[in-house]
């Protein structure tokens, strides 16, 4: 009887010892996170927080329904999101932007407009205004700004007569023939305001007097016709001077039609 009790007691002690050994072996085995880190004991949550300097985890708030809400993770600093610089990778590349063309300055735009305006003005003042070739440059000068000198040809705006300045006087050019024989063109004529010539002395009219070397007769050219001047007294009475006489060939004079004599009614004109 005593033998049976002792054997049963030995079995209970053996089972108790095996259970203790099994629990001790279970405690000696490392946790999965400790196996990766290479440590045998896992530090406590309080030790990790104090070592890393991180704030203590906040307690989860409880909603009105009684459910616990999970705390939000702490915000990471901006510098932590950027990729660290290393010698192998070099500094982080900045995005390349297309070059911006420089805007033209105000002075450049102003100079361009002035150049364009000057070009348009030059073109306009040199465009002929009529069939005679009169241009704006010669048709609209300021009368006060004209330099009065020998050879200046003017015409008042509402008058058909053309004058040329000679020896301190304005002389009327009596005909288109005289105008052309004197070598003027419509580009030489300056249009002035009405009454401009009232300030100046008016000389004798300017005619074209023609004569050939083989004839003593003198003719005045008017309207494409030759008018015979009867004698020297009439020549001087008409205000002519010898400087007005131009020599041409006698054949040229004979080809011109005859006009009224000077003075009128002096008979048939003689031919050169």
Looking at residue 108, what is its pLDDT?
A: 77
Looking at residue 46, what is its pLDDT?
A: 47
Q: Read off the pLDDT of residues 136-166 as tens digits, 9 standing for 90 and up.
A: 555 445 555 678 888 899 999 999 899 999 8
- As a whole number, mean pLDDT of residues 31-50 equals 46
- Give CA–CA dist 49/57, Å, rounded: 9
- pLDDT greater than 90 at residue 175: no
**Where are any strands of DSSP class E within the chain?**
61-62, 68-69, 153-156, 162-166, 169-173, 189-192, 208-211, 219-222, 225-228, 245-247
- The CB-based long-range contact list for 125-130 (8 Å cut-off, 24+ gap) reads 130/186
Backbone angles phi, psi at 171, to 5 degrees: -115, 130
- As a whole number, mean pLDDT of residues 246-266 equals 91
CB 228 within 8 A of CB 261: yes
Domains of the chain with bracketed CATH: 129-206 (3.30.2390.20), 207-272 (3.30.2390.20)
- pLDDT greater than 80 at residue 7: no
- Give CA–CA dist 191/182, Å, rounded: 19
Task: Provide the residue count of the chain.
Answer: 272
- pLDDT greater than 70 at residue 253: yes
- Give CA–CA dist 208/179, Å, rounded: 9
- pLDDT greater than 80 at residue 226: yes
How does strand 68-69 pair with strand 208-211? Answer: unpaired
- As a whole number, mean pLDDT of residues 190-215 equals 90
- Give CA–CA dist 169/189, Å, rounded: 17
Looking at residue 263, what is its pLDDT?
A: 92
- Give CA–CA dist 212/219, Å, rounded: 10
pTM above 0.75, yes or no: no
* Banded model confidence at residue 35, pLDDT cuts 50, 70, 90: very low
Burial (Cβ within 10 Å: 0-12, 13-18, ≥19) of residue 229: buried
Written as six digits, the tokens of 186 are: 């419509």
- pLDDT greater than 60 at residue 2: no
* Banded model confidence at residue 109, pLDDT cuts 50, 70, 90: confident
Exposure string for 14-40, b = 16+ CB within 10 A, e = fewer? eeeeeeeeeeeeeeeeeeeeeeeeeee
Burial (Cβ within 10 Å: 0-12, 13-18, ≥19) of residue 209: buried
Looking at residue 38, what is its pLDDT?
A: 45
DSSP codes of every residue in 51-64: HHTPPPPPPPEE-T
């Amino acid at each position: 009887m005593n033998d049976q009790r002792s054997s049963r007691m030995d079995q209970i002690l053996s089972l108790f010892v095996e259970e203790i050994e099994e629990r001790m072996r279970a405690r000696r085995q490392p946790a999965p996170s400790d196996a990766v880190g290479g440590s045998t004991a896992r530090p406590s949550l309080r030790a990790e927080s104090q070592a890393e300097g991180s704030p203590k985890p906040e307690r989860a708030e409880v909603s009105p329904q009684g459910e616990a809400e999970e705390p939000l993770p702490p915000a990471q600093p901006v510098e932590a999101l950027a990729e660290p610089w290393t010698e192998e990778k070099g500094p982080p590349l900045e995005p390349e932007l297309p070059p911006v063309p420089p805007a033209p300055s105000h002075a450049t735009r102003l100079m361009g407009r002035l150049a364009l305006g000057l070009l348009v003005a030059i073109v306009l003042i040199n465009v002929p205004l009529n069939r005679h070739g009169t241009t704006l440059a010669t048709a609209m000068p300021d009368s006060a700004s004209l330099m009065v000198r020998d050879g200046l040809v003017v015409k008042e705006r509402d008058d058909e007569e053309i004058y040329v300045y000679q020896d301190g006087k304005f002389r009327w050019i009596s005909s288109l023939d005289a105008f052309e024989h004197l070598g003027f063109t419509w580009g030489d004529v300056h249009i002035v305001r009405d009454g401009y010539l009232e300030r100046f002395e008016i000389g004798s009219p300017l005619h074209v007097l023609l004569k050939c070397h083989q004839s003593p007769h003198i003719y005045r050219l008017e309207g494409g016709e030759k008018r015979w001047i009867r004698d020297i007294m009439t020549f001087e009475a008409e205000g002519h001077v010898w400087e007005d006489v131009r020599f041409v060939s006698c054949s040229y004079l004979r080809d011109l039609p005859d006009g009224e004599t000077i003075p009128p009614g002096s008979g048939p004109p003689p031919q050169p």
